[in-house]
């Protein structure tokens, strides 16, 4: 996390903004590219570029870890009723538990800092990926899976070539929700030294600096809108393909 954050902070901000705008344009057209460029330029103008990069790294790495854990678990839950019975109460507990609670086991194992914040964020944000992956596979039409069985597909071929492609929009919706939940943990993670935009909000709360807190809150909202639009555009493109 430190290496990736340092590398991004060492790069020229205008270069990163241009790259992000081009990627957004390629993903969903010129409107999203323009929105991305304007939003990132706005954050740069506010002087929140460095905290934004730290928050982005935390959110992206936490989301990747949550997807790497949640996607296989969701597939297993969809294919096995026993796994679903075991995971469903755990997911309910994880989604109803107050987010502050996840900081308690993280601090003794990893101490204060970004690693504990990443661990707590992964635990808090993983349930939508697991649940919607399982739901997407279970909602694949029965006649489609029967046709795959009739043509002699193995279980692996049916999963990779039939069930996962049909469930992809629902899976992407789960990943999108995971990203949004990871962003919602930014301010809470700042309480244990995560840094980023959450630290700006937390510092403003401690010092009663309303303007500084509003700026950081708007920056988090801008970053959330950009990530939401990009992931939705990627989901539409994958569905069309």
pLDDT (tens digit per residue) in 53-95: 888 888 888 888 889 988 999 899 888 888 888 888 888 888 7
User: Residue 171 belongs to what H/E stretch?
Assistant: helix 164-184
- What percent of the chain has a predicted confidence (pLDDT) above 70? 98
Domain 48-240 falls in which CATH fold?
MetI-like fold (1.10.3720)
Between 223 and 110, residue with greater pLDDT = 223
Determine the average pLDDT of the residues in 157-176. 85
Determine the average pLDDT of the residues in 218-235. 83
Q: Which three-class secondary structure string do you get for the chain?
A: CHHHHHHHHHCCHHHHHHHHHHHHHHHHCHHHHHHHHHHHHHHHHCCCHHHHHHHHHHHHHHHHHHHHHHHHHHHHHHHCHHHHHHHHHHHHHHHHCCHHHHHHHHHHHHCCCHHHHHHHHHHHHCHHHHHHHHHHHHCCCHHHHHHHHHCCCCHHHHHHHHHHHHHHHHHHHHHHHHHHHHHHCHHHHHHHCCCCHHHHHHHHHHHCCHHHHHHHHHHHHHHHHHHHHHHHHHHHHHHHC
Per-residue model confidence (pLDDT) at position 196: 76
Q: How confident is the model at residue 114 (pLDDT cuts 50, 70, 90)?
A: confident
Determine the average pLDDT of the residues in 132-151. 84
Per-residue model confidence (pLDDT) at position 239: 64
- What percent of the chain has a predicted confidence (pLDDT) above 90? 1
Q: How confident is the model at residue 240 (pLDDT cuts 50, 70, 90)?
A: low
What would the two tokens of residue 156 be? Answer: 């692996």
Look up residue 139 and give its DSSP letter.
Answer: T
Q: Among candidates 85, 235, 97, which has minimal Cα distance to 170? A: 235
Determine the average pLDDT of the residues in 113-141. 84
Q: How confident is the model at residue 238 (pLDDT cuts 50, 70, 90)?
A: low
Provide the mean pLDDT of the chain.
82
Look up residue 97 and give its DSSP letter.
Answer: S
Q: What is the pTM of this model?
A: 0.83
């Amino acid at each position: 996390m430190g290496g990736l954050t340092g590398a991004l902070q060492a790069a020229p901000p205008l270069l990163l903004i241009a790259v992000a705008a081009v990627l957004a344009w390629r993903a969903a057209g010129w409107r999203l590219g323009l929105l991305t460029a304007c939003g990132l330029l706005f954050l740069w103008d506010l002087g929140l570029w460095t905290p934004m990069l730290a928050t982005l790294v935390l959110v992206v790495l936490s989301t990747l870890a949550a997807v790497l854990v949640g996607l296989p678990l969701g597939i297993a839950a969809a294919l096995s009723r026993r796994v679903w019975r075991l995971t469903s109460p755990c997911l309910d507990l994880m989604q109803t538990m107050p987010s502050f609670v996840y900081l308690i086991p993280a601090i003794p194992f990893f101490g204060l800092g970004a690693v504990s914040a990443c661990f707590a964020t992964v635990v808090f944000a993983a349930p939508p990926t697991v649940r919607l992956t399982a739901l997407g596979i279970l909602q694949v039409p029965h006649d489609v899976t029967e046709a795959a069985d009739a043509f002699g597909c193995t279980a692996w071929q049916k999963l990779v070539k039939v069930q996962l492609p049909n469930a992809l929009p629902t899976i992407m919706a789960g990943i999108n929700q995971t990203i949004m939940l990871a962003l919602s943990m930014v301010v809470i993670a700042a309480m244990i030294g995560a840094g980023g935009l959450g630290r700006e909000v937390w510092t403003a709360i401690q010092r009663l600096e309303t303007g500084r807190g509003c700026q950081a809150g708007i920056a988090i909202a801008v970053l959330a809108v950009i990530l939401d639009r990009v992931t939705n555009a990627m989901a539409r493109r994958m569905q069309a393909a």
